[in-house]
């Protein structure tokens, strides 16, 4: 097809479909290691939870991944891939300054899994009562618009509909930071996190 024809078709498509979504990108500084960035609760908007169950693998005496980000309503499968038994529990569920009740999923052998549905946004700090060195995090976020940073602290949240939002930066052991953003096409939000 002629390139101009393709261009005209694209313009017509974008115009008629009213496609108006952008990307929020930026850089998280002040911390080392992975951070989580997400669009906070949007007034009057709910999102159907995804059907798939992301897996936290208990492998090599670690929770893998160390940080799992899921949308509220997601069921997470905890799978033991080691020869030894593992447990998973979180002493409390952190919702901002609030500390909700924790949960102990029990202890199970290799090849078995336990599932848990995370209904509310917040953070579950994972521990294993068999192996004191095991730790991890389930970060439950209120929207499907989230990302984790790469090794340089850069992140990109794609397909965010145009609008006004609050973007939250999370890092283990560090205070959350919130910044407003107006998305109209691409937008940039940088943060410097600190205790």
Q: Which is nearer to Cu ion, 24 or 128 (CB)?
A: 128
Number of residues located near Cu ion, criterion CB under 5 A: 5
42, 55, 130, 174: which one binds Cu ion (CB under 5 A): 130
Distance separating alpha carbons of residues 133 and 92, to the nearest angstrom = 18
d(CA 194, CA 175): 7
Residues 84-103 that bind Cu ion (CB under 5 A): 86
Select 103 or 131, whichever has its Cβ closest to Cu ion. Answer: 131
Per-residue exposure over 35-62, b if at least 16 CB sit within 10 Å of its own CB, e if not: bbbbbbebeeeeeebeeeeebbbbeeeb
Pick the stretch among 69-77, 81-89, 109-117, 163-171 that binds Cu ion (CB under 5 A): 81-89
* Residue 179 engages Cu ion in binding (rule: CB under 5 A): no
List 127, 128, 147, 189, residue binding Cu ion (CB under 5 A): 128
Question: Which residues, other chains included, contact 195 with Cβ-Cβ below 8 Å and sequence gap of 6+?
Answer: 173, 174, 175
Tell me if residue 70 falls in helix, strand or coil. strand
Q: Which is nearer to Cu ion, 113 or 131 (CB)?
A: 131
Q: CA angle at residue 69 from 34 to 21, to 5 degrees?
A: 95
In the bound state, the residue with its beta carbon closest to Cu ion is 128
Q: Which residue stretch of 6-14, 39-47, 120-128, 176-184 sits at the interface with Cu ion (rule: CB under 5 A)?
A: 120-128
Q: Give the interface with Cu ion as residue ranges (CB under 5 A).
A: 86, 128, 130-131, 134
């Amino acid at each position: 097809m002629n390139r101009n024809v393709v261009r005209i078709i694209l313009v017509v498509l974008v115009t008629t479909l009213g496609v108006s979504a952008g990307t929020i990108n930026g850089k998280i500084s002040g911390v080392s290691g992975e951070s989580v960035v997400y669009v906070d609760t949007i007034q009057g908007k709910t999102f159907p939870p995804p059907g798939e169950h992301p897996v936290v693998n208990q492998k090599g005496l670690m929770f893998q991944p160390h940080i799992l980000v899921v949308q509220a309503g997601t069921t997470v499968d905890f799978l033991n891939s080691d020869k030894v038994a593992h447990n998973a529990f979180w002493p409390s569920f952190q919702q901002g300054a609030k500390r909700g009740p924790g949960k102990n999923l029990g202890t199970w052998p290799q090849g078995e899994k336990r599932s848990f549905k995370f209904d509310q946004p917040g953070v579950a700090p994972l521990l294993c009562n068999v192996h004191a060195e095991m730790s991890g995090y389930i970060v439950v976020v209120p929207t499907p618009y989230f990302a984790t940073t790469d090794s340089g602290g850069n992140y990109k949240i794609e397909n965010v509909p145009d609008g006004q939002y609050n973007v939250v930066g999370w890092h283990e052991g560090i205070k959350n930071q919130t910044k407003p953003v107006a998305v109209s096409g691409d937008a940039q939000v940088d943060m410097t996190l600190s205790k």
